[in-house]
């Protein structure tokens, strides 16, 4: 159901002004059910909680699971927010129920494309090492950290150039741009 609702959202190209609008047939018909499913999914995966997660001690298989769950939660949040948005009035539907705000704001954003593309534990470990060297050991960032560091306009400028769902880097940008609309 999440996929159908996501496909029903019209996501503008980064070069076009405006934000997401529900397409025909996606105006929240089954959104309360989707929201309950998403909340249940979040509750069923406590390992994505920032307090429970220490990526340096995860096996590759565990990391793939946690990264996939985080991506699913972020996507469910975007769909939930925009499918329940009345763009003409500029407000949320009466049926809108926010997902776990702190979880969304504090989860690490999706990893980089080279890390996500790893097809074996060896490739994953090599990509991690290369990323740590490139980032000087900086940990993955969260929306809360970005929001405390940058203004909304800076975020839209920096992350709004290339966003979508075609690769990990564009997905991360998509999540940041959507969250800036939702939370700032």
For 35-67, give the DSSP string: HHHHHHHHHT-GGGSTTT--GGG--HHHHHHHH
Give the angle subtended at the CA of 39 by the CAs of 37 and 40, to the nearest 5°.
65
State residue 85 phi and psi, 5-degree precision.
-95, 130
Per-residue model confidence (pLDDT) at position 133:
58
Does residue 132 surpass a pLDDT of 50?
A: yes
Q: What percent of the chain has pLDDT over 90?
A: 32
Q: Is residue 80 within 8 Å of residue 35, measured between CB atoms?
A: yes
| pLDDT tens digits, 28-41 | 456 677 778 888 88
- pTM for this entry: 0.80
* Beta strand 21-22 pairing with 9-10: antiparallel
């Amino acid at each position: 159901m999440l996929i159908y609702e996501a496909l029903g959202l019209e996501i503008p190209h980064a070069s076009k002004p405006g934000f997401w609008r529900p397409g025909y047939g996606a105006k929240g018909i089954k959104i309360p059910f989707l929201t309950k499913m998403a909340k249940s999914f979040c509750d069923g995966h406590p390992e994505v909680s920032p307090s429970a997660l220490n990526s340096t001690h995860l096996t590759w298989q565990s990391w793939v699971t946690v990264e996939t769950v985080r991506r699913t939660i972020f996507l469910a949040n975007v769909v939930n927010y925009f499918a329940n948005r009345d763009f003409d009035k500029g407000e949320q539907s009466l049926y809108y129920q926010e997902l776990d705000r702190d979880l969304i704001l504090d989860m690490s954003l999706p990893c980089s494309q080279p890390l996500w593309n790893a097809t074996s534990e060896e490739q994953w470990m090599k990509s991690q090492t290369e990323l740590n060297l490139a980032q000087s050991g900086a940990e993955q960032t969260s929306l809360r950290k970005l929001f405390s560091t940058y203004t909304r306009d800076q975020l839209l400028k920096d992350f709004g150039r290339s966003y979508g769902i075609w690769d990990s880097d564009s997905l991360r940008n998509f999540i940041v741009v959507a969250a800036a609309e939702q939370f700032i």
